[in-house]
Amino acid sequence: MVALREMIDKAIENYLYEKEPETLYRAVKHLPSAGGKRLRPIIACLACEAVGGNVMDALPFGVALEIIHTFTLVHDDIMDRDEERRGKPSVHALFGDATAILAGDALFAKAFEIASYTRDDHVAKTILRNLAIMSKEICEGQQMDIAYAESDSIDEQQFMEVITKKTAKMFEHAAAGGALIGGGSEEQQEALREYGRNLGIAFQIWDDCLDVIGEDIGKPVGSDIREGKKTLLYLHAYTHADDREWLKCYGNPEASDEDIRKVIHLFEKVGSVAYAKEKAQGMAAAAKERLAAVPDGEAKDILMEMADFAVKREK
Amino acid sequence: MVALREMIDKAIENYLYEKEPETLYRAVKHLPSAGGKRLRPIIACLACEAVGGNVMDALPFGVALEIIHTFTLVHDDIMDRDEERRGKPSVHALFGDATAILAGDALFAKAFEIASYTRDDHVAKTILRNLAIMSKEICEGQQMDIAYAESDSIDEQQFMEVITKKTAKMFEHAAAGGALIGGGSEEQQEALREYGRNLGIAFQIWDDCLDVIGEDIGKPVGSDIREGKKTLLYLHAYTHADDREWLKCYGNPEASDEDIRKVIHLFEKVGSVAYAKEKAQGMAAAAKERLAAVPDGEAKDILMEMADFAVKREK
């Protein structure tokens, strides 16, 4: 796992070889070189290996996913006016909006170039098309997220649609694409697709829980509350809490630490935290079940562990 | 030509079939449905036919080029704070920056999806990679353009690099890609690549001339002067005019119509307009020469006419 991650880090560095214009490429490399868990390429490579393929064959595709992920972060930070990312200034905070828009675009372009280095022509074409459709869906998810931010509440189906498009689809494509590259059967590709989707949903819901229960993940605890993010915890509390006082703090950037503590306390009291945790854990369990379709081995073991990690991690 | 353009318009409409989220897709379709010359897809289709291919085979690729072109306009307008495009409000002026960024991203994603419908797997992979590299170069050109906007003057080599990356590369890829899809020989692909590059440069320089000599092209005459755009006319006048008074108006958004007329008069007096026109006409002639590599026929005739049109058009 460590070796795989190092290989991915190295591949990202190698693929992003451009240097000029200097400002543009400093902006392009700012986030990819800041690290990150590299979950998407790891899943792509492991899914490839799990069905009997060579891990190296999935590397261009995996790196492309990571770069697309990065591109969405760069543009989302502009839209959300987030000045920090992974404990560092965001790209637009450092380079201005124009260069940040361009850096995102250049990352997006690079991702398609990189994915095109997938060896088999037919597989490459399929994967490029899937990456394009996935990227479009991420945009749709972000647009829905922006629209929902302005409404008081959304239902769970709307919530699931947003996190599926914004997050889970990438995990889904990572696993299914890895399986396709590795020569997995259609049944295996489908099973890994569902593994990825469930894992992605589990991962995102747990991420929202961490904002309430977790350690510092590069943003202070309670930031979702101050931003008014429509998390599963919010949705649950919105329909289960009789007291409406907390809604005044939710989405208030000026909310005090004391206010935040009160909202968190309410989330715990009405069972919203437990509800979200259970949902995430259920999704992780469902992801693991789907791995029955692939043969036992190290790759499968790590994919199992990743599902556990998704809902146990503290950052 | 009219039939081809109608076919392209129809294909663009069909490929952009998405409807939800409604705001996003209204923003996505705002520019593509506003018309335009469709030069890039027309060149792609004609180049394909000129080497003996079927025009329909180049349609996904041609539409992808048009959509990439549109995506760059949407994002450039945000960066340049241009509120109008093709005589209509720009996307960000209508929908806000966040949705405009997303609409550009979604168009970019769509372009790769559409290009992936190119039939032959190997050709599709090559074309997708080339589109990705081209898109990256467009970003580089735009970044250079932003940087140069702040410097007093640039040399002609820097100028050529910017317009090559921002504009000519797309024409180059349109022609070379069309020839590849049509099964043209390597020599033909290369000749059409050079046709496209020369045509693109001619087209861009003429576009800059039109701002000084031309009719309304959806933006008022003199807008490049008020914006301080580093055109070939500016570069020439900068090194050939003894009087420096005009530089005070150049890049001054508040310049009066009288000021603009004075700058235009100076451009004519020192020979900058004639210089740029000749350069554009020379490039158009060079483009036409390269067509010797393809057999005579209707497609070649129209490609010839397009080179003439590039430096004769009045809008």
A236-248 tens-digit pLDDT: 999 999 988 888 8
The Cα–Cα gap between A315 and B310 comes to 58
What residues form DSSP beta bridges with B84?
A: B89
User: What is the chain B residue with the closest CA to A112?
Assistant: B132
A133: chain B residues, CB-CB within 8 Å: 109, 113
B76: chain A residues, CB-CB within 8 Å: none
Q: Is the pLDDT of residue B216 over 60?
A: no
A90: chain B residues, CB-CB within 8 Å: none
Residue A120 belongs to a domain: yes
User: What is the chain B residue with the closest CA to A104?
Assistant: B105
- Which of B40, B84, B85, B94 is closest to B63 using CA atoms? B40
Cβ A110 vs Cβ B129: under 8 Å = no
The Cα–Cα gap between B41 and B171 comes to 9
Q: Which two tokens stand for residue A198?
A: 């469930």
Residue in B101, B142, B144 nearest the CB of A78? B101
Any chain B CB within 8 A of the CB of A289? no
Taking phi over 0 as left and psi of -120 to 50 as alpha, with beta for the rest, A239 belongs to alpha
Going by pLDDT thresholds of 50, 70 and 90, the confidence category of residue A227 is: confident
Question: Of all helices (H) and strands (E), which one includes residue A89?
Answer: strand A88-89
The Cα–Cα gap between A49 and A181 comes to 9
Cβ A291 vs Cβ A191: under 8 Å = yes
pLDDT of residue A1: 74
Assign 3-state DSSP to chain A and report helix, strand, coil percentages, each to 5.
Answer: 75, 0, 25
The Cα–Cα gap between B312 and A291 comes to 64
A184-197 tens-digit pLDDT: 999 999 999 999 99
Across the interface, whether the CB atoms of B21 and A140 are under 8 A apart is answered yes
pLDDT of residue A117: 98
Position B62, amino acid: G
Q: Is the pLDDT of residue B95 over 90?
A: yes
To the nearest whole angstrom, how far is the Cα of B14 from the nearest Cα of chain A? 16
Across the interface, whether the CB atoms of B109 and A75 are under 8 A apart is answered no
Across the interface, whether the CB atoms of A139 and B102 are under 8 A apart is answered yes
Q: Is the pLDDT of residue B219 over 60?
A: no
Going by pLDDT thresholds of 50, 70 and 90, the confidence category of residue A202 is: very high
What is the residue whose two structure tokens read 């206010």? A259
Where is mean pLDDT largest: A241-250, B106-115, B204-213?
Answer: B106-115
CATH of the domain at A278: 1.10.600.10
DSSP letter string, A109-140: HHHHHHHTT-SSHHHHHHHHHHHHHHHHHHHH
Neighbours of A305 (CB within 10 A): 13
DSSP letter string, B142-191: HHHHHHHHTSS---HHHHHHHHIIIIIHHHHHHHHHHHHHTT--HHHHHH
The Cα–Cα gap between B167 and A270 comes to 59
Complex confidence, ipTM = 0.95
Q: Which two tokens stand for residue A200?
A: 């992605």
Residue A315 belongs to a domain: no
A110: chain B residues, CB-CB within 8 Å: 132, 136
Any chain B CB within 8 A of the CB of A116? yes
To the nearest whole angstrom, how far is the Cα of B235 from the nearest Cα of chain A? 21
Q: Is the pLDDT of residue B136 over 90?
A: yes
pLDDT of residue A216: 47
Where is average pLDDT lowest: A108-117, A129-138, B33-42?
Answer: B33-42
The Cα–Cα gap between A192 and A131 comes to 16
Across the interface, whether the CB atoms of A113 and B97 are under 8 A apart is answered no
pLDDT of residue B34: 86
Q: To probe the interface with A, which of B143, B158, B162, B170 has the most A CB atoms within 10 Å? A: B143
Which residues 125-184 of A are in CB contact (within 8 Å) with B? 125, 128-129, 131-133, 135-136, 139-140, 142-144, 146-147
Residue B285 belongs to a domain: yes
Going by pLDDT thresholds of 50, 70 and 90, the confidence category of residue A213 is: confident
To the nearest whole angstrom, how far is the Cα of A36 from the nearest Cα of chain B? 23
Residue in B78, B105, B136 nearest the CB of A113? B136
Residue B306 belongs to a domain: no
Residue in A113, A117, A143 nearest the CB of B99? A143
Q: To probe the interface with A, which of B18, B113, B170 has the most A CB atoms within 10 Å? A: B113
What is the residue whose two structure tokens read 């790769």? B112
Domain carrying residue B130: 2-300
Q: To probe the interface with A, which of B68, B108, B122, B161 has the most A CB atoms within 10 Å? A: B108
Q: To probe the interface with A, which of B105, B129, B170 has the most A CB atoms within 10 Å? A: B105
B44-91 tens-digit pLDDT: 999 999 999 999 999 999 999 999 999 999 999 999 899 988 889 999
Residue B253 belongs to a domain: yes
Q: Is the pLDDT of residue B24 over 90?
A: yes
Any chain B CB within 8 A of the CB of A122? yes
Q: Is the pLDDT of residue A140 over 50?
A: yes
What residues form DSSP beta bridges with A85?
A: A88
Residue in B99, B106, B128 nearest the CB of A116? B128
As a whole number, mean pLDDT of residues A124-146 equals: 97
pLDDT of residue B222: 86
As a whole number, mean pLDDT of residues B285-308 equals: 98
Compute the radius of gyration of chain A from its Cα atoms.
Answer: 20
The size of the A-B interface in CB pairs under 8 A is 139
As a whole number, mean pLDDT of residues B259-266 equals: 92
Residue B315 belongs to a domain: no
Q: Which two tokens stand for residue B216?
A: 């309304």
Going by pLDDT thresholds of 50, 70 and 90, the confidence category of residue B218 is: low
pLDDT of residue B217: 52
Q: What percent of chain A has pLDDT over 90?
A: 82
The Cα–Cα gap between A25 and B136 comes to 11
A37-63 tens-digit pLDDT: 999 999 999 999 999 999 999 999 999
To the nearest whole angstrom, how far is the Cα of B73 from the nearest Cα of chain A? 12
Across the interface, whether the CB atoms of B121 and A124 are under 8 A apart is answered yes
- Which of A188, A200, A177 is closest to A306 using CA atoms? A200
Residue B118 makes CB contacts below 8 A (sequence gap 6+) with B57, B60, B61, B124, B127, B181
A108: chain B residues, CB-CB within 8 Å: 105, 108-109, 135
Q: To probe the interface with A, which of B102, B107, B170, B180 has the most A CB atoms within 10 Å? A: B102
Q: Which two tokens stand for residue A39?
A: 């979950």
pLDDT of residue A47: 98
pLDDT of residue B156: 94
Residue in A99, A101, A129 nearest the CB of B101? A101
A282-A284-A288 Cα angle (round to 5): 115
Across the interface, whether the CB atoms of B143 and A99 are under 8 A apart is answered yes
pLDDT of residue A52: 98
Q: Which two tokens stand for residue A60?
A: 């261009």
Going by pLDDT thresholds of 50, 70 and 90, the confidence category of residue B304 is: very high
The Cα–Cα gap between B271 and A96 comes to 38
Number of domains in chain A: 1
Any chain A CB within 8 A of the CB of B244? no
DSSP letter string, A39-63: HHHHHHHHHHHHTT--GGGGHHHHH
Across the interface, whether the CB atoms of A106 and B132 are under 8 A apart is answered no
Any chain A CB within 8 A of the CB of B110? yes
Strands B84-85 and A88-89: unpaired
* 3-state secondary structure (DSSP) of residue A85: strand
The Cα–Cα gap between A311 and B62 comes to 46
Provide the mean pLDDT of chain B: 94
pLDDT of residue A219: 53
pLDDT of residue A218: 53
Q: Is the pLDDT of residue A217 over 80?
A: no
Cβ B63 vs Cβ B131: under 8 Å = no
To the nearest whole angstrom, how far is the Cα of A241 from the nearest Cα of chain B? 30
What residues form DSSP beta bridges with B85?
A: B88
**Per residue in B178-201, is it b (16+ CB within 10 Å) or e — as a string?**
bbbbbbbeeebbebbbbbbbbbbb
Which residues 48-77 of A are in CB contact (within 8 Å) with B? 75
